[in-house]
Amino acid sequence: MIKHLVSMGVTLAGGLVLAACSPQTSLPVVPTVTAAAAASQAEPGSLRAAAEACGLVIGAAVRTDPILNDSQYQAVVSSEFSSITTENALKFRTLSAQPGEYNFQDADTIVNFAREHGMRVHGHTLVWHKSLPDWLTAESFTPDELVLLLERHIGTVVGRYRGQVSTWDVVNEAIDSEGKLRESIWRQALGDDYIAQAFRLAHDADPAAQLFYTDYDMEFAGVKSDAIYELVRSLVEAGVPINGVGFQLHLRLDHLPDMDVMQANMQRLTALGLQVQITEMDVRVQDVNGTPAEKLSRQAAVYGDMMRVCLQTSGCSAVNTWGFTDAYTWIPDYTGKPDMPLLFDTAYTPKPAYTALQAQLAACHNQN
């Protein structure tokens, strides 16, 4: 194991400093994109302009291939959104194929695209029990080695994009459906304190970045959303540098939340002095009967409802979707069935869901 840690450049017990690895690509340090810079690039009539007028960040998760190769994808995402989330490019598995090696090519592509278009970057995700490199899950590292690996990972990744990634999903999906802390290699090594440690490490690497805990099913009442509230409350009470909570919102038409519950769950978090954001919204339509037009109409109502709740919640600072075109979405791969969960169809035509968001944003001045 030590040979792996040597190649990672970590400091071992006794203060022995081992050689650091060198990233395979380099990125110039640039200032963080400001809200004013983002606003200046918003085209009149776009979602981006409408959200900016409401003081809201509107974002979408993106993939590297179409950011490089699909000109329509590039044009729509840069004109309609003020922020992009790295769908997979900043996951540990994507970044590190071999022990001690980091390849930032995909992430750099997205961060550079954002900079060229005056967009923010939401970094996803530093600590997750999934999408870990095989070398990390296959090997049996000691707890001390895992602590060093976590320190090294967060320091390397957040440090590289210091001033360029303005918000981070620091810890993703740490609570299970029974409201208990999930098992993960990080919890085994550091104990339950791994969550607080991750936030502290991220803050040390970029004190200006806004740091989020994010999870799914937080829009419902029950043990999971209550446990997340308690976890976050205890982090705030302990002075851990956490700035907000992300509601993923992977929704399905046959299992929708009550809007009052959703808003109450947001408000109890903002009452702690935190921001809340919608971080991964999509609305799956494959599970219900109806014509395509009927499904898209029901889907639009859900998007509109969620935007309304965010606009009505002081402290809800962003609405982000998990992709923006039905041409690129994780859902068909996951369910084995076609779907159309996003704001634009596969030909990049805006769907009723897009119109519903625009309608809510147009009304934001009456709601605030």
Q: Select from 212, 247, 330, 354 the one that contacts ligand G3I (CB under 6 A).
A: 330
Residue nearest to ligand G3I according to CB distances in the complex: 330
CA 64 from centre of chain = 15
CB of 215 to ligand G3I, least distance (A): 9
Question: What CA–CA distance (Å, rounded) separates 44 from 38?
Answer: 13
- One of 108, 219, 280, 326 touching ligand G3I (CB under 6 A): 280
Catalytic residue among 80, 145, 173, 219: 173
For residue 213, state whether it binds ligand G3I (rule: CB under 6 A).
no
Amino acid making up residue 305: D
CB atoms within 10 A of CB 145: 19
Residue 209's nearest CA partner among 266, 169, 247 is 169
Q: Which two tokens stand for residue 29?
A: 């340090």
Tokens of 131: 């999408």
Rg of the chain over Cα atoms, rounded to whole angstroms, equals 20
In angstroms, what is the minimal distance from the CB of 342 to ligand G3I? 12
Q: Who contacts 325 (Cβ-Cβ below 8 Å, separation ≥6)? A: 73, 76, 342, 343, 344, 345, 346, 348
83 binding ligand G3I? (CB under 6 A): no
Look up residue 246 and give its DSSP letter.
Answer: E
- Phi then psi for residue 22, to 5 deg, are -110, 130
For 121, the 3-state DSSP assignment is strand
Which of residues 89 and 189 has its CB atom nearest to ligand G3I in the complex?
A: 89
Residue 131 lies near ligand G3I (rule: CB under 6 A)? yes
Catalytic site includes residue 173: yes
Size of the site for ligand G3I (CB under 6 A): 9
Which CB atom, from 280 or from 326, has the smaller least distance to ligand G3I? 280
Q: Name the packing angle between helices 223-237 and 194-205 (round to 10°).
A: 50
Q: Does residue 277 interact with ligand G3I by CB under 6 A?
A: no
**Is 116 a known active-site residue?**
no
Choices 86-94, 147-155, 197-205, 266-274; region in contact with ligand G3I by CB under 6 A: 86-94
Which positions from 162 through 191 interact with ligand G3I, judged by CB under 6 A? 172
Is the CB of residue 132 less than 8 Å from the CB of residue 88? no
Instruction: Select 88 or 263, whichever has its Cβ closest to ligand G3I.
Output: 88
Q: Do residues 357 and 47 lie in contact, with contact meaning Cβ atoms separated by under 8 Å?
A: yes
User: Which range in 73-81, 85-93, 258-266, 283-291 contacts ligand G3I by CB under 6 A?
Assistant: 85-93
Interaction mask 231-250, ligand G3I, x per CB under 6 A: -----------------x--
Under the binding rule (CB under 6 A), the answer on residue 87 touching ligand G3I is yes
- Residues contributing to the site for ligand G3I (CB under 6 A): 87-88, 91, 130-131, 172, 248, 280, 330
What residues are annotated to the active site? 173, 280
